[in-house]
Amino acid sequence: MTFRQFAFNNVLRNKRTYAAYFLSSAFSVMVFFVYAIFAFHPDIAGGKFNPNIATGLHFAEGLIYVFSFFFVLYSMSAFLKTRKKEFGLMVMLGMTNTQLRLMVFLENVLIGFGATISGIGLGLILAKVMLLSAENLLDLEETLPFYLPGKALALTFAAFLVLFVVISMFTVVILRGHKLIDLIKGSAMPKKEPKSSLLLSIFSALLLGAGYAIALSVKGTMVVVAMIPVTMMVIVGTYFLFTQLSVYAINKSRNKRSFFWRKTNMLFLSDLAYRMKDNARTFFMVSILSTVAFAAIGSLVGFKTMSTNLLLKENLFALEYTSYSGPDAQAKRDVETIQNALQADNFDYRMLQSVMIEQKADNSDKSIFIVKASEFNEIAAAAGEQPVQLKDGESMLIYYMNELMGKNATNAYPVSLAGNGIELKPVGSQSSHAYPMYTDYYVVADELYGKLAQADMKTRAFYLFDVPNLKATKNVGKTLDEKFAKGDNRFMSVAYNLSIMNQAYGVVFFIGLFIGAVFFVASGSFLYFRLYADMPDDKRKFSAITKLGLTDRELSGILTKQLLILFFVPIAVAFVHGAVALTSMQNMFGYSLMKTSLTVLGTFVLIQLIYFLSIRVRYIKQVRA
């Protein structure tokens, strides 16, 4: 048996001990790789989508790399800790320090290599499954097709090669300075009592309180100004919440005997203080990352709902055709094409038309648009809007308004027209989405319109097609849109535009959801691995307490409560942070993001709940065994 064979067999014949380390390494490789597949996707990198998406993905990839580094490092040090006794034995049998390090190094390289290969393999499968499910669940047409991810492969391989080599170097640091006696005894020394500072705890509560108060009270554009200081305050506050405030609260509860000495509280809480302190940094990282994911996804869903609603509210007719050169031959041809297309597909439709005069104002270069009251009323009635009542010589100002803009109504203002010197004095103003017009225009009485209209005037012609079954016109819309895309005139199909928007949001949404889900699963696994490392201690402790008399129900009760806190405290914090952030953003847009974002947060909680339940069963079983 050569030394290399020894190191090799040590891993292969000891699979159980190495399994946890191997799996957690493979898991980080997998996550990183799947991300890389998306980030380097030719459709994303090729500018088919917003270039910010690719940048965002690469940034997330960097975060994951840092996360993986600590994850693997922690897994490894926990793994080495459980093997201290074995190392002690080897040193006792005469293994030199160099040989010991070489052995650990070789093992690490072996495990790292295996983990990278299997992580990439699993990642390929996962990516394919995810792309498929995205296609089916989100109803995407222009999905990201599966491709052979050469760049992603190379990056993952190189990144993790470096990671495992660097981490193997760390083993030297971890193993250095251990006396033989410490190695043989293992980690027998009990941990010191977790300490916390009252001052920092108060500081944390103040920062969080103030941050929330500011975020919830500012309105409008001030939100942007307040965003950075509030974010900083909340981040620092959250850090101390986990490292100080939580531990302080638990320690304080010790003095309240009627609470601390009740039933299993004592066992549950005394451990929790240690667990909180040990995991504080993980908690902090997870809750901040989750908050970002929550807020990003929440606002994304919000935006999507908002723009869909806006589109449907403003465009009341299935197809709209606007000729900027008036009712000329080109317009007539196009309208005929539209009618033929609608008839060919057996659509029940009604065409409404209107000619708008464009004139200059007397004292400025401003264009004044004027339509006939009878035409306007017909269209407004079809759109379900209020018609105007005008007597001869009267006019009415129509303005455009949407929910994103302020809620202030535009006041009617008079205007005198160039050329004929007629002055329009509107009797009032009202908002309307009946015409696809985004500037102010005037509706004038038919009699007055007759006076204004002259043969050589510049005009616009509107052709609006009212189809009762609006959503079904997507395909007709698409064909026509492609036909008219090159022309000067405006054509718009609501159903087709809606589907384009859904596609674009769907992809971004899918990536966002995926990023969030991965962070949750990764943090859950991180916690689980820490639990796993502490399990021998837990097992010893609970077997002793069982001898004193602890029922199975009490045991699983204690463990469940602990796991519940470990799993859901970061999410709960992120939930509150995210809710505040979304409320604040809502103040900025003046649009409610609550319902949609709650759905998103609920989904995440559900994922975490499933993960928690599966881990709980396993953990309790293992502690009892």
Partner 1 sequence: MTEMLSVRQLNKIYGGKVPSRALTDINLSIGDGEFVGIMGPSGSGKTTLLNLVAAIDAPTTGEVLINGKNPHKLKKSELARFRRRELGFVFQDFNLLNTLTVEENIVLPLTLEGERVRTMEEKVTEIAKKLGIESILKKRTYEISGGQAQRTAIARAMIHSPKFLFADEPTGNLDSKSAKDVMEILTAINRSERTAMMLVTHDAVAASYCHRVIFIKDGQLFNEIHCGDSRQAFFQKIIDVLSLLGGNAHDLSTIRV
Q: Does 82 bind partner 1 (CB under 8 A)?
A: no
- Whether the Cβ atoms of residue 300 and residue 284 lie closer than 8 Å to each other: no
Q: In angstroms, what is the minimal distance from the CB of 623 to partner 1?
A: 15
Q: Does 47 bind partner 1 (CB under 8 A)?
A: no
CB under 8 A: which stretch of 310-318, 395-403, 488-496, 551-559 binds partner 1?
A: 551-559
Of these, 17, 77, 264, 587, which contacts partner 1 (CB under 8 A)?
A: 264
Q: In angstroms, what is the minimal distance from the CB of 569 to partner 1?
A: 19
Of these, 451, 487, 552, 621, which contacts partner 1 (CB under 8 A)?
A: 552
Q: Are strands 441-444 and 395-399 parallel, antiparallel or unpaired?
A: antiparallel
Residue corresponding to tokens 């609608």:
342
Of these, 252, 263, 391, 471, which contacts partner 1 (CB under 8 A)?
A: 263
Q: String of b and e for 422-461 (b: at least 16 CB within 10 Å)?
A: bebebeebbebbbbbbeebbbbbbeebbeebeeeeeebbb
Of these, 17, 99, 251, 270, which contacts partner 1 (CB under 8 A)?
A: 270
Of these, 85, 128, 179, 191, which contacts partner 1 (CB under 8 A)?
A: 191
Q: Does 85 bind partner 1 (CB under 8 A)?
A: no
Q: Does 337 bind partner 1 (CB under 8 A)?
A: no
Q: Does 482 bind partner 1 (CB under 8 A)?
A: no
Q: In angstroms, what is the minimal distance from the CB of 5 to partner 1?
A: 28
Q: Does 625 bind partner 1 (CB under 8 A)?
A: no
- Identify which of residues 407 and 553 has a Cβ nearer to partner 1 in the complex: 553
Q: Does 271 bind partner 1 (CB under 8 A)?
A: yes
CB under 8 A: which stretch of 190-198, 210-218, 412-420, 615-623 binds partner 1?
A: 190-198
DSSP codes of every residue in 51-85 = HHHHHHHHHHHHHHHHHHHHHHHHHHHHHHHHTHH
Q: Does 261 bind partner 1 (CB under 8 A)?
A: yes
Q: Does 182 bind partner 1 (CB under 8 A)?
A: no
Dist. CA 400–CA 409, nearest whole Å: 9
Q: Does 176 bind partner 1 (CB under 8 A)?
A: no
CB under 8 A: which stretch of 67-75, 208-216, 262-270, 303-311 binds partner 1?
A: 262-270
Cα dihedral 212/216/221/226 (nearest 10): -10
Closest-CA residue to 160 (of 261, 30, 279, 326): 30
Q: Does 545 bind partner 1 (CB under 8 A)?
A: yes
Q: Are strands 441-444 and 426-431 parallel, antiparallel or unpaired?
A: unpaired
- Whether the Cβ atoms of residue 503 and residue 332 lie closer than 8 Å to each other: no
Cα–Cα distances (Å) from 106 to 2, 71, 99, 103, 512, in that order, read 13, 20, 10, 5, 38
Q: Is the CA virtual torsion 594, 599, 604, 608 positive or negative?
A: positive
Q: Does 81 bind partner 1 (CB under 8 A)?
A: no
Dist. CA 388–CA 380, nearest whole Å: 9
Q: Does 475 bind partner 1 (CB under 8 A)?
A: no
Q: In angstroms, what is the minimal distance from the CB of 246 to partner 1?
A: 16
Dist. CA 559–CA 615, nearest whole Å: 11
Q: Residue 428 is inside which H or E element, if any?
A: strand 426-431
Q: Does 273 bind partner 1 (CB under 8 A)?
A: yes
CB under 8 A: which stretch of 165-173, 187-195, 459-467, 479-487 binds partner 1?
A: 187-195
What's the one-letter identity of residue 65? Y
List the Cα angle 343/349/353 in 5-degree steps: 110
- Identify which of residues 266 and 401 has a Cβ nearer to partner 1 in the complex: 266
CB under 8 A: which stretch of 92-100, 240-248, 258-266, 391-399 binds partner 1?
A: 258-266
Of these, 139, 141, 193, 336, which contacts partner 1 (CB under 8 A)?
A: 193
User: Residue 72 burial (CB < 10 Å; 0-12/13-18/19+)?
Assistant: buried
- Identify which of residues 273 and 296 has a Cβ nearer to partner 1 in the complex: 273
- Identify which of residues 253 and 603 has a Cβ nearer to partner 1 in the complex: 253
Three-state secondary structure string covering 325-358: CCCCHHHHHHHHHHHHHHHHCCCCCEEEEEEEEE
CB under 8 A: which stretch of 53-61, 331-339, 387-395, 544-552 binds partner 1?
A: 544-552
CB under 8 A: which stretch of 253-261, 297-305, 378-386, 521-529 binds partner 1?
A: 253-261
DSSP codes of every residue in 391-415 = -TT-EEEEE---TTS--PPPPP--E
**Total residues at the site for partner 1 (CB under 8 A)?**
29
Residues contributing to the site for partner 1 (CB under 8 A):
189-191, 193, 257-258, 261-267, 270-271, 273-274, 541, 544-554
